[in-house]
């Protein structure tokens, strides 16, 4: 009887447990731009903001003029384990290591390997610094919603609106490429998901020869990062199945430059795609399957209290301190001096310093605003300002630029407040 009661209780609780699991995520939703069909993300690279084309069938790579702009040490090569691009013909001159690279707070890398591209006029035409591959997203679930022009990164689970029964297995291949299965007229094909390719499906000559149907028409093809060319051969396939959905007829193009057949961004016209690299799953569902409600992230710094060491988020920093997305040079927005303490719970000196900072916040509550940033949660801020040692403190006078200090030295910091912020 007890066992039956326990089983009944477990069944009753299962829906709420599943809901809690899908909600127990760190979720970040960011806008992306689209130029000439390319998805462009704004990343922070060694403290510089720059646009990158999302190329999940490629690798992280930059144009040669950005080596100096990003202050990259060219004496240390990247550690790809291979000499060039694996799945497409993209000329490169060398590889380097990028110190820090981030996309929001969920996606962050130290010592990121990158190729230096040879001259690529088309990328300059797009106004980007390079391309970003899948390796930077290996620790998150990456969701692309082309209808809303949104990129969602979440961990450890998919966004709650992506249905569990709309998923399939993938293979994550070297270089963090994603291979998924698409069924065309009843025959399954393993296709590399290529967010550079503007088409629906492009095939190698070998795979294309396996398809039946009539030839004719034009289709866009891609060769490296050059501007689009034209394929002379396409075929219309009667039925296309992807994950759990029947997509009807699709146009397939032949591209003899491909090393393997690809699924392009045409799939993003038909629904939302989520890639779970860790579990090797892909989710796909039509836009109208379910109402999309992004997980709301509470702003912990909606109110800053005088006399307190107030926790803040990136959003507060952008709104009240300095918006580095709009102004290249540091422009302080506040009308009172500010002290910002970058800290972490695992940092012993940080934890010893915090009580001293709280005392100073109380002492100077009518003159200086005291704030703190959790470095583990606000990785984009740390990347933007090259915060690599903790604690790091910013002392910002009205109309001035930050005075940056590291270490737990409360006496020195109080003297800086008196000499630099209040005079």
Residues classed as catalytic:
347, 350
300-313 CB burial, b ≥16 within 10 A, e <16: ebeeeeeebbbbbb
Residues 6+ apart with CB under 8 A from 5: none
Whole-angstrom distance, CA of residue 384 vs CA of residue 45: 8
Long-range contacts at 312-317 (CB < 8 A, ≥ 24 apart): 312/340, 312/371, 312/372, 312/373, 313/377, 313/378, 314/105, 314/378, 314/380, 314/381, 317/373, 317/378, 317/381
Whether 116 contacts 96, CB under 8 Å? yes
Cα-to-chain-centroid distance, residue 218: 33
Name the 3-class secondary structure at 122. helix
Write the CA distances from 312 to 54, 276, 305, 329, 378, integer angstroms.
30, 30, 11, 22, 9
The three-point CA angle 218-220-225 to 5° equals 155
Backbone angles phi, psi at 126, to 5 degrees: -75, -15
Tokens of 346: 């695992």
**Rg of the chain, C-alpha, whole Å:** 25
Whole-angstrom distance, CA of residue 269 vs CA of residue 316: 34
Whether 416 contacts 359, CB under 8 Å? no
Tokens of 334: 């506040």
Whole-angstrom distance, CA of residue 167 vs CA of residue 231: 32
């Amino acid at each position: 009887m007890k066992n039956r009661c326990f089983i009944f209780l477990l069944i009753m609780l299962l829906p709420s447990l599943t809901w809690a699991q899908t909600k127990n995520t760190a979720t970040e939703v960011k806008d992306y731009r689209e130029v000439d069909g390319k998805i462009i993300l704004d990343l922070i690279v060694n403290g510089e903001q720059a646009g990158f084309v999302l190329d999940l069938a490629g690798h992280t790579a930059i144009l040669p003029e950005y080596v100096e702009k990003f202050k990259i040490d060219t004496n240390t090569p990247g550690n790809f384990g291979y000499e060039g691009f694996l799945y497409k013909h993209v000329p490169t001159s060398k590889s380097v290591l990028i110190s820090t690279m981030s996309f929001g707070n969920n996606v962050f890398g130290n010592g990121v390997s990158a190729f230096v591209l040879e001259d690529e006029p088309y990328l300059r035409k797009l106004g980007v610094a390079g391309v970003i591959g899948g390796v930077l997203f290996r620790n998150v679930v990456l969701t692309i919603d082309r209808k809303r022009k949104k990129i969602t990164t979440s961990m450890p689970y998919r966004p709650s609106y992506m249905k569990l029964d709309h998923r399939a297995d993938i293979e994550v291949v070297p270089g963090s490429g994603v291979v998924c299965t698409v069924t065309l007229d009843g025959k399954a094909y393993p296709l590399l998901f290529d967010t550079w390719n503007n088409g629906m499906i492009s095939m190698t000559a070998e795979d294309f020869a396996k398809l039946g149907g009539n030839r004719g028409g034009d289709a866009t093809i891609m060769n490296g990062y050059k501007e689009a060319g034209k394929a002379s051969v396409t075929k219309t396939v009667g039925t296309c199945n992807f994950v759990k959905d029947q997509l009807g007829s699709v146009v397939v193009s032949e591209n003899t430059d491909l090393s393997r057949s690809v699924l392009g961004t045409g799939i993003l016209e038909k629904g939302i795609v989520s890639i779970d690299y860790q579990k090797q799953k892909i989710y796909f569902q039509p836009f109208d399957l379910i109402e999309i409600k992004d997980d709301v992230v509470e702003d912990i710094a909606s109110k800053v209290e005088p006399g307190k060491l107030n926790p803040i988020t990136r959003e507060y920093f952008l709104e009240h301190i300095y918006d580095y997305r709009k102004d290249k040079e540091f422009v302080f927005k506040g009308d009172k001096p500010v002290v910002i303490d970058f800290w972490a719970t695992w940092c012993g000196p940080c934890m010893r310093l915090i009580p001293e900072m709280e005392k100073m916040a109380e002492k100077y509550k009518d003159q200086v605003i005291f704030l703190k940033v959790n470095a583990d949660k606000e990785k984009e801020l740390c990347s933007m300002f090259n915060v690599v040692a903790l604690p790091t403190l910013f002392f910002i006078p009205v109309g001035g630029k930050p005075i940056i200090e590291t270490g737990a030295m409360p006496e020195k910091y109080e003297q800086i407040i008196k000499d630099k912020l209040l005079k």
